[in-house]
Structure 1
């Protein structure tokens, strides 16, 4: 097995300087299509096999910094996109067909620049839902389709409240990047608490629909990996129950005799959200970089996890060459060691196309692991 360059046609017309891409959902007979965001806040549609591009819209997002890390997501139905700076205060939801901003969001002032803007589309039967942050310790659940309405209206708890009722449900936790399972059953995140330290949490979206306080202290909520050195960890759902998380080991994950030096060993944990239990731990994972040279950007994991339909788990990042594990055995089967190009650092793994994609100067490069 190796990582092979896959030639792609030239993009026509040239969309300009792209700063983020994401995959639009496709059926098995359709060609892979990307959604691209440019530094001029233009949205473009890109056909990978033909190179044909089409501008969909020019958007507006308050205080957007195109040279800072960007969060760019698309809904499972392919009709809506969510955009924010990763550490921004504001976010928008855009309808792709019309280019209209249908929802403008804000998450408050308090340490908003220390974690990824909480934003995730959730598919629930015939509904399309949005989980989004409105304060440092508060998430909202909003129905977007078939009609827009709030599903989590509640009174903000007061930590200094005089009564137990006023203090109930208070969450002393900073929300971070959200990850919805493929069928929308669970939502996962690693936010942070004071020390500071990261905490990983998972809860049921169905239970959230029944209990507006589920993301604070619901019965389905499980904080299964804490404390962590970092937060906003690389994550990927392997299916609707298994979640892979890349971070640093603590004493709870290994027997004492398996430890090297405390706090120095990276691992990928696979967690079963349905059983609320650890499924497996991959202990030969590389460390990722968190330092950044970008001004006014907080330290953060600069790495990604992805999984293929054929049972492969991919990990890569800044100064971390691509590595591949066979999920059936949890064994490392490939590590990129090409010294002429030791770290390709893709921007995206396109699952349906089985391609690693990287933004170039008005172009896109592609590789396939085969």
Structure 2
């Protein structure tokens, strides 16, 4: 059952019943699944569509929000799909609800609903061949995706062999309007310079150009006698390539769950003993709310949403 939350009135209304996608369809090529499958709910900006994807699984579904009717089955393939979240996010294109979603281990596509599903990024699969030297083939396992604050960039968090974590970004308008290959080798494609030890770390966009992410540099470049680096939070500016370490937060790392948020010039970090709110201007601690572990921060509504058993707690953010 999907419920609609009114954060201002602090009420919830049962809205529609839906049938969840299938689970247990990927055996990771004979290897034990590294992380448990679990469903994740997405709601379109216009609240006309819902989607449920199975993080660390293969399948998803798109539904009409008013009736619960399933209008599209999603499938990201069975090649190591249990290693990453099912990358999917809603946006709006020319007034129509659009879903960006993974359709294979190394491929994203976009589907517009006007009102029925229609592909926006149809293209052939690139060929993996040394002879063809196809630069469109990416040996990159797409995981979580996130849209920047004005929905002009798509950030992807995934991995490459050996394996190490890797983050990439590209222009959303260029991909949807000019070049369906923009996500593979377009002019706007940006790659973070240094790989990380793992992937699916906490991250969130701060503005149109910068995002905050947690991570630890990969040890493939570390000398044997060098100490193991610690997890740190970095502010990464895609336009300039500059990265700055943010010393305050120590967010929990919970696979498939958001633990970093941005609201009104502050970075919110879900930590072992509660929620910390940090000033982006100087990195200082503005507030600490012990015992609070929200799964959603509604910056525009100035509310924190936190599940507690079978209930949902809605609290106002402190004055920022």
Instruction: State the match for 1:118 in structure 2.
Output: 87
Give, in whole Å, the separation in 2 of the partners of 1:81 and 1:302. Answer: 18
Deviation at residue 136 of structure 1 after TM alignment = 0.6
Work out the CA distance in 2 between the residues paired with 1:160 and 1:235: 34
Q: TM-score, normalised by structure 2?
A: 0.83
- In 2: Cα distance, 1:346 partner to 1:158 partner: 43
Q: Indicate the residue corresponding to 1:169 in structure 2.
A: 136
Residue in structure 2 matching 1:355, options 290, 303, 306 = 303
Structure 1 match to 2:249: 285
Q: Which residue of 2 aligns with 1:61?
A: 21
Deviation at 1:162, TM superposition (A): 4.4
Query: Which residue of 1 is the match for residue 186 of structure 2?
Result: 218
More RCO (CA 8 Å, sep 6+):
1
Q: Please, what TM-score do these two structures have when normalized by structure 1?
A: 0.73
SS of equivalent to 2:142: coil
State how far apart, in whole Å, the 2-side matches of 1:287 and 1:56 are: 33
Superposition deviation, residue 231 in structure 1:
1.1
Q: 1:359 Cα shift?
A: 1.5
Residues 1:315 and 2:269 aligned together: yes
Question: After the TM superposition, which of the residue ranges 193-202 and 153-162 deviates more from structure 2?
Answer: 153-162
Displacement of 1:206 in angstroms is 1.2
Whether the 8 Å contact between 2:100 and 2:110 is mirrored in structure 1 is yes
| Cα-Cα RMSD | 2.6
User: In 2 relative to 1, CA 265–332 (structure 1 residues): closer, same or farther, beyond 3 Å?
Assistant: farther
Matches within 5 A, 1:69-80: 69-80=38-49
Contact 1:288–1:320 (CA under 8 A) maintained in structure 2: no
Question: Alpha-carbon deviations, 1:145-182, whole Å to 9, x = none?
Answer: 46632122222122136434xx3411101000110123
Structure 1 counterpart of 2:196, from 216, 219, 228: 228
User: How far off is 1:349 after superposition?
Assistant: 1.5
Q: Where do 5+ consecutive residues of structure 2 fail to align?
A: 26-35, 220-225
- Between the aligned partners of 2:300 and 2:212, the Cα distance in structure 1 is 19
Matched with 1:106 is 75
| Paired positions, count | 300
Tell me: CA distance 1:50–1:169, structure 2 relative to 1, closer, same or farther (3 Å). closer
CA contact (8 A) 2:214 2:234 kept: yes
1:306 equivalent to 2:261? Answer: yes
Q: Aligned pair 1:326/2:291, yes or no?
A: no
